[in-house]
């Protein structure tokens, strides 16, 4: 009987609380109805925890002491692609942009109801019209997407790669933080929004262009599109194209989360050069190479990366050109090819003294070079060395650069995503 009275009292009290306009009894309890959220790990990425490490030169090297002085920094956690972006992954980007261009031409015909009987459906807007490549080729509606007759090779109808343009929105938060404060917070947000239009198809002629008096035509003909090279790192992609890929990948993933009514995640982006070096060292301080030791071969005499050993002995490490990603052992974080195979774009502008003036917490130096700027301001840092580089360039600390609007046969990229929350993923 006592238990029944207690139950009725509790029920009555709860009903009173429920009628009190929110049930918080006037207390500060925070906005209600928010579910716990943990940052999902993107497919194909590795978690890199926060930490402090010494970046810069690891040995007595007089020239490098000027552009890679030693410095202790702290980097917050992030997800990083396990390997370089492959040809097949980049081709997904290209094909999706082509699909978007086709759908833009279709206009209203793009939308179709989910109900096979033709009935209406509130989610029909998320359904794409199925258009096969043959439908595109055989329709006059898309004829301007293809090379004209004079430019056609071997009577094969092909999409004009100059027409494959990805358009995306970019927000300059650095400018917003600076200018809005200087203007007394009276500026409008549209001043910091910019539309980017990037021709995204890789430059497949780089294997010929990069090497004078060298027969590399077969690589030009098949490297990007042939299934044999699906799992090889994409090359011929400049810095702008790599950034465009990151923007597309962000939108592609967040569109899915929006469809299933989940919280979106932080942007995919190119790593800063310090995030890259932190990840390459694999949690080891002052190690010369990602695998830790000072040697480029293991105890069995096998090379630990794809680079240029000796004097022109390209094949002695197991690969003449770029090789399939993850062909060599990963570092302690589980990241592959942080040395060799292809060098990798970073988001960072290149300055010889960057290690000296950048902050020791998440150091970074970026500059958005304009077309009219000098060539020096268009230099972007690349890291890791490549299949055509000697051993010096595959060290963790080695810094060098390429120009942001150039592409070549030895530079690719991988993406990172800043982790939301504490560095220990097991806790909130």
Contacts of 113 (CB under 8 A, 6+ apart): 119, 120, 121, 124, 127
Would you state the pLDDT for residue 117?
A: 47
Given a contact cutoff of 8 angstroms between Cβ atoms, the answer to whether 238 and 410 are in contact is no
Would you state the pLDDT for residue 379?
A: 97
pLDDT in tens, 208-222: 999 999 999 999 999
Give the whole-angstrom CA distance, residue 292 versus residue 284: 7
pLDDT higher than 60, residue 137: yes
Would you state the pLDDT for residue 317?
A: 83
pLDDT higher than 70, residue 145: yes
pLDDT in tens, 334-364: 999 999 999 999 999 999 889 889 999 999 9
pLDDT in tens, 294-340: 888 888 888 899 999 877 788 888 889 999 999 999 999 999 999 99
Confidence of residue 424 (pLDDT cuts 50, 70, 90): low
Confidence of residue 279 (pLDDT cuts 50, 70, 90): very high
pLDDT higher than 50, residue 120: no
Beta partners for 146?
159
Helix (H, G, I), strand (E, B) or coil at 194: strand
pLDDT higher than 90, residue 44: yes
Q: What mean pLDDT do residues 185-210 have?
A: 90
pLDDT higher than 80, residue 116: no
Using CA atoms, how far residue 76 sits from 160, 268, 360, 362, in Å, is 42, 15, 12, 7
Helix (H, G, I), strand (E, B) or coil at 51: strand
Phi-psi region at 371: left, alpha or beta (left = phi > 0; alpha = psi -120 to 50): alpha
Topology of domain 55-86+203-428 in CATH is 3.90.1580
Would you state the pLDDT for residue 67?
A: 65
pLDDT in tens, 100-113: 888 777 664 444 44
Give the whole-angstrom CA distance, residue 274 versus residue 280: 10
238 CB neighbour count, 10 Å cutoff: 24
293 CB neighbour count, 10 Å cutoff: 12
Closest CA to 280 of 414, 381, 399, 396: 396
Q: Which of residues 423 and 12 earns the better pLDDT score?
A: 423
Give the whole-angstrom CA distance, residue 179 versus residue 201: 35
Alpha helices (H) along 187-346 = 206-209, 217-222, 239-259, 273-281
Would you state the pLDDT for residue 123?
A: 38
Would you state the pLDDT for residue 313?
A: 83
């Amino acid at each position: 009987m006592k238990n029944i009275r207690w139950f009725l009292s509790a029920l009555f009290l709860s009903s009173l609380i429920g009628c009190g306009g929110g049930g918080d009894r006037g207390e500060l309890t925070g906005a209600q109805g928010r579910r716990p959220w943990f940052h999902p790990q993107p497919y194909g990425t590795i978690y890199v925890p926060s930490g402090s490490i010494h970046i810069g030169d690891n040995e007595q090297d007089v020239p490098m002491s000027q552009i890679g002085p030693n410095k202790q920094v702290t980097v917050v956690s992030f997800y990083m692609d396990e390997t370089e972006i492959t040809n097949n992954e980049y081709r997904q980007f290209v094909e999706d942009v082509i699909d978007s261009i086709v759908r833009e031409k279709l206009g209203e015909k793009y939308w179709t109801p989910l109900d096979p009987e033709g009935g209406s459906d509130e989610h029909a807007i998320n359904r794409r019209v199925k258009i096969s490549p043959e439908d595109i080729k055989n329709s006059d509606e898309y004829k301007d997407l293809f090379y004209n007759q004079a430019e056609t090779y071997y009577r094969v109808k092909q999409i004009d790669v100059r027409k494959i343009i990805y358009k995306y929105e970019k927000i300059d938060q650095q400018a917003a933080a600076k200018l809005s404060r200087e203007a007394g917070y009276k500026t409008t947000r549209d001043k910091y929004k910019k539309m980017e239009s990037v021709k995204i198809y890789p430059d497949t002629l780089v294997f010929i262009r990069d090497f004078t008096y060298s027969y590399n035509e077969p690589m030009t003909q098949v490297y990007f599109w042939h299934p044999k090279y699906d799992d090889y790192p994409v090359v011929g992609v400049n810095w702008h194209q790599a950034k465009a890929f990151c923007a597309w990948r962000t939108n592609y993933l967040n569109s899915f989360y929006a469809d299933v009514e989940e919280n979106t995640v932080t942007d995919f982006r190119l790593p800063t050069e310090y995030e890259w070096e932190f990840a390459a060292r694999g949690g080891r301080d002052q190690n010369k190479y990602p695998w830790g030791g000072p040697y480029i071969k293991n105890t069995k005499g096998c090379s630990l990366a794809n680079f240029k050993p000796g004097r022109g002995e390209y094949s002695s490490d197991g690969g003449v050109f770029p090789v399939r990603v993850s062909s060599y052992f990963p570092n302690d974080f589980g990241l592959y090819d942080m040395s060799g195979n292809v060098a990798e774009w970073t988001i960072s502008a290149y300055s010889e003294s960057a290690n000296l003036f950048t902050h020791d917490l998440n150091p970074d130096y970026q500059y958005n070079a304009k077309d009219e700027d000098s060539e020096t301001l268009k230099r972007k840092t690349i890291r890791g060395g490549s299949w055509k580089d000697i051993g010096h360039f595959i060290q963790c600390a080695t810094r060098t650069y390429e120009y942001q609007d150039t592409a070549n046969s030895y530079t690719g990229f991988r993406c990172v995503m800043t982790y939301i929350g504490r560095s220990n993923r097991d806790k909130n």
